Amino acid sequence: LVNQVVSHLVQAIRSKDGGFSSIERQSAGSYYERVKISEPNEFDIMLVMPVARLQLDESDDTGAYYYLAFKRSPKEKYLLKFLDEDGKLSAFKMLQALREIIKQEVKNIKNVEVTVTRKKAGSPAITLQIKNPPSEISVDIILTLEVQQSWPPSTQEGLKIEQWLGTKVRREFRFRSIYLVAKQNKREKVLRGNTWRLSFSHIEKAMMNNHGNSKTCCESDGPKCCRKGCLKLLKYLLEQLKMKYPKELEKFCSYHVKTAFFHSCVMWPNDTDWHLGDLDHCFQKCLGYFVDCLQKSQLPHFFIPQYNLLSLEDRASNHFLSRQINHQLNNRFPIFQE
């Protein structure tokens, strides 16, 4: 159902002269990394636009958010109309244009009822609701630029996977293009909607799908490990706690546990650290690491180490979550039995 709707939209978006003719669809997120938990009712679809070269200027000290400008007049003339008065590429303008095309186009989709949900402030996604009785499916469409140039300096010390996946793999990853998503930086004083955030979902997907220290890990004839099982449990635990305490835990999302999980893979790099039969033990190790991070309010972004995903201003909710997790750990996870 999702594929049918998305292919229809992609064709329509390309055929309009809105400047999106080069857009390609890429699937991101948990469903495609095979670590989706619960219902397959949420999908992330990246609409990727290739851009030759951009000038990236950090918009703050996280090293994750950038203003984009063209070094010289771009081959992609169609992008010029999305520049703001300072000559920066406006995420807001591009999203608005894309949103309009999609809003018009969903009306032409026969045999499926699709609506575009109201815009959420600062969200990089255009969200579709697909009626699929008895439930609904939501699809987040994320506008992404793919830039063929080297990764910015803030990533230099990140992706510490040498011991885990090897130096060669790290080098190969760092040769891949940069992805930037139209994401509002909340820390900006004036929200002008012209910041873009680095995204590594293509690399994360590659790491998830080729996660072994040995090449044969989890292949049909190779030994099986419990890495994905751990990540699924971590995500499920957070999801259940968020349902129980929506107010206190609204700051947290699955990306927090995914990041903690990647750091755990680096701390325990060998496949022998992740025997399939040791799932409970490995899960508790990952959780222990995550609780440590919460207590210190320090969880470095896996690719941009200077960027702390847990801010000190949220110390109270970090501590709240760490208490809840400890309670679960010490009582054999009552929330899994509920």
Q: Answer yes or no: do 296 and 168 share one domain.
A: no
Q: What pLDDT, in 10s, does the model give residues 112-170?
A: 888 898 877 667 788 999 987 778 888 889 999 999 999 999 999 999 999 999 999 99
Q: Taking residues 16-37, what's their average pLDDT?
A: 74
Residue 182: what pLDDT? 87
User: Which range is least confidently modeled, 32-36, 224-228, 281-285?
Assistant: 32-36
In this structure, the answer to whether residues 31 and 80 fall within a common structural domain is yes
**pLDDT higher than 60, residue 190:** no
Query: Do 74 and 8 lie in a common domain?
Result: yes
The residues facing 274 across adjacent strands are: none
190 lies in the same domain as 224: no
**Does residue 59 sit in the same domain as residue 104?**
yes
Residues 44, 137, single domain; the answer is yes
| Residue 327 belongs to domain with CATH number | 1.10.1410.40
Do 172 and 74 lie in one domain? The reply is yes
Domain extent for 91: 1-200
Residue range 249-272, pLDDT digits in tens: 999 999 999 999 999 999 999 999
Same domain, 98 and 169: yes
We report the CATH number of the domain holding residue 176 as 3.30.460.90
Mean pLDDT for all residues in the chain: 90
Predicted confidence at residue 41, as pLDDT, reads 81
Instruction: Choose one of 200, 226, 252: the last residue of a domain.
Output: 200
Q: Are 229 and 274 part of one and the same domain?
A: yes
Paired sense of beta strands 42-51 and 135-147, if any: parallel
Give the mean model confidence (pLDDT) for residues 224-237: 95
pTM of the predicted protein model: 0.92
Q: What is the mean pLDDT of residues 198-213?
A: 93
